[in-house]
Chain A
Amino acid sequence: MAVLPIIEARDLWTQRGQQTIHRDLQLTVNKGDIVGLVGGSGSGKTTLLRAVVGLDAPVKGEVRLFGVDPIRAGRSSRLDARRRMGMLFQGGALFSALNVFDNIALPLRELKSLDEPLIRDLVMLKLSLVEIEVEHAAKMPAELSGGMVKRVALARALALDPELLVLDEPTAGLDPDRSRSFVSLVQALSKEYGLTVLMVTHDVETLTTLATRVAVLAEGRIVADGKLDEVVKSDHPFVKSFFGHMQAEPASLLNSRH
């Protein structure tokens, strides 16, 4: 049996209002991939993530998440697919009425089959994964700094031990030290669980150290897709301007990869 791709977008067309964002976009993410999605402002990176997880319906084409249509499939299979992934939103999107602990416990409690002692340890584990100290657990999201909101949101995305992480700018707003520990956390998780990651990022360091694949989004489609050193060689004007400094001196930067 052929292994089903985790994410598959075929001939995807999406719109925001009257504006067409993606035209005939193709994207496949296989198990274990850590895909960095790169593109200029307004090129539809976030829209693509939203379409992939089934928040927005595509105008044309189809999306498969774990082999299921995340919008039109039956309720239980749709829910199953969603529970196998965790999403980190750009602004964190923590529930402001719940404290840090309850924010992370919410997806676990929603399963309605775990008991509180188990949930408590699971939440504390996720908090220690993202390096949030225990004394912050009772705080409300409004009392957290921007970087902490990001990390708590990541802990919430990891709550259900997802097979797929969808991350919208995970390292934006983190200091270099924290973004490095984020990178090593994702690397460790992917090694242990075979975690698959689709992330939007502008951070070249995250791309070079973490992503096993880079997909470049421009003109409504993926214009380059592959290993970073292959993508860098592409002739597309956006790739040239984004990775220009790397094309000039590829050796020094590429050698820093693990």
Chain B
Amino acid sequence: MTANSIQLRTRESGERVVTLAGDWTLASIRNNLTKIRKSLKTAAKDASLVWDLQSVEALDSTGAILIWQAWGDKRRDGALLRPEHESVLERIAKIPRNPPLRRRENLLGLLVALGRKEFELVGHARGLLGLLGTLVLDVGRGILHPRDLPWREISATVYKAGAQAMPVTALVGFLIGVVLSYLSADTLKTYGADIYIVDLLGMSIIRELGPLLVAILVAGRSGSAMTAQIGVMRVTEEIDAMATIGISPSMRLVLPKMIGLAIAMPLISIWAITAALAGGALAAQVQLNISFLYFFQSLPAAVSAANIWIASVKALSFGAVIALIACHFGLRALPNTESVSSAITYAVVSAITLVIVLDAIFAILFRSIGF
């Protein structure tokens, strides 16, 4: 690589000539771009100068554009070039000036965006309703022809979203139990109400925290995985391929996830509740001197069995909702990575929000049961 140079010379005839020499390429220009541009500009100001580029050894598009821009985006009259560099400049002459690189913003942009969001929301509601309807038809068909039901996929979902989630739900449940028990202990001690720790923990964990905690964990863990799976299947056109083979994507992909998660969620909820109670009992033993054995012996008296059923019903519906939302967003993802990533975000956020809304509805529905 030879360095580029720019020189001003006066010929014997009195003609003043700008001579460019050396390599005018990206590699030779990039480290002193400002300097080169400045000297080109200064030379270009004098219209009487003749440009001689015949000593230029290598000219690539960067070098050519730089010279072209100095000439004021046009060919300088009388410039001398090597024939092989002529075509480089010819191409540059064809570049469109001031291309429209940004899309025009609408003046009412904010209003339009708001309206578009509203339509989007309606679109989601309709999509969800449509998906739910298709699933009801699928279930109907499944009842008439049980062999058509995707048993293997259901069991896969129970294993992946249920069995494999056991360690993490147990750990989180246990820690929440410890924290709750630890924090309540002081207040209870002040009132001498130590033994009510059993009622407090039993009621809050079984009825409320257990299912909700597990729902949030599962939405993050399995819901996102479901959206990603279906979204990527859309990117790779696998869903279209299924449809052409005659497999209903809702029957084979959505239904097993919903049924599987509806089965798995109550089971892991009970599992997480057990872990949370164990954590709570352990902390109660340390803080309040209430024995582990006593804690669990007095639990049935403090919390009626109906609460376990309430917890299971809640967990079941949370599971179904998480799977439904996850699949809905996965199916709506456009075939590109950007859209899949935002679909996953929306799926997890909406699933958790909807679970909490549902939880509030259950709290009102079941207000007279289990106390």
Binding site for B on A (CB under 8 A): 96-97, 101, 111, 113-115, 117-118, 120-122, 124-126, 128-129, 134-135, 137-138, 140-142, 160-161, 188, 191-193
Inter-subunit contact A118/B66 (CB<8 Å): yes
What residues of chain B lie closer than 8 Å to A120, measured between beta carbons?
Answer: 99, 101
CB neighbours (8 Å) of A161 from chain B are 25-26, 60-62
Q: How far, in Å, is B337 (CB) from chain A's closest CB?
A: 5
Tell me, in angstroms, the Cα distance from A160 to B25 when the chains sit together. 10
* A137-B101, A161-B62, A192-B87 known; A125-B336 Cβ under 8 A: no
Minimum Cβ distance to chain B for residue A219 (Å):
31
Asked if B96 is at the interface (CB within 8 A of a chain A CB), the reply is yes
* 20 A-B pairs (CB sep. < 8 Å): A96-B337, A96-B338, A113-B31, A114-B33, A118-B65, A121-B92, A122-B61, A124-B95, A128-B91, A128-B96, A134-B100, A138-B100, A138-B102, A140-B336, A160-B26, A161-B25, A191-B84, A192-B87, A193-B58, A193-B60
A134 lies within 8 A of B61 (CB): no
CB neighbours of A114 from chain B (8 A): 30, 33, 62
B354 at the interface (CB under 8 A from A): no
Q: Are A125 and B91 in contact (CB under 8 A)?
A: yes
Distance in Å: Cβ of B318 to nearest Cβ of chain A: 33
B319-346: which have CB < 8 Å to A?
A: 334-339
**A121: which B residues are within 8 A, CB to CB?**
65, 68-69, 92, 95
Residues of B within 8 A of A (CB): 25-26, 30-31, 33, 58, 60-62, 65-66, 68-69, 84, 87-88, 91-92, 94-96, 99-103, 334-339
Asked if B338 contacts A111 (CB within 8 A), the reply is no
Tell which of A118, A128, A141, A191 has the most Cβ of chain B within 10 Å. A118
CB distance from B147 to the nearest CB of A (A): 37
Residues of the B chain whose Cβ atoms lie less than 8 Å from the Cβ of A188: 87
Kindly state the separation between the CA atoms of A115 and B68 in the bound complex, as whole angstroms: 15
Q: Contact between B92 and A125 (Cβ–Cβ < 8 Å)?
A: yes
CB of B94, distance to nearest CB on chain A (Å): 6
In the complex, A233→B88 CA distance in Å? 39
By a CB distance below 8 angstroms, the chain B residues around A134 are: 96, 99-100
Residue numbers in A under 8 Å from B31 (CB-CB): 113
Cross-chain contact A138 with B103 (CB below 8 angstroms): yes
Residue of A115, A121, A126 with most chain B CB atoms under a 10 A cut-off: A121
- Given known A-B contacts A141-B336, A160-B26, A192 and B88 have beta carbons under 8 A apart: yes
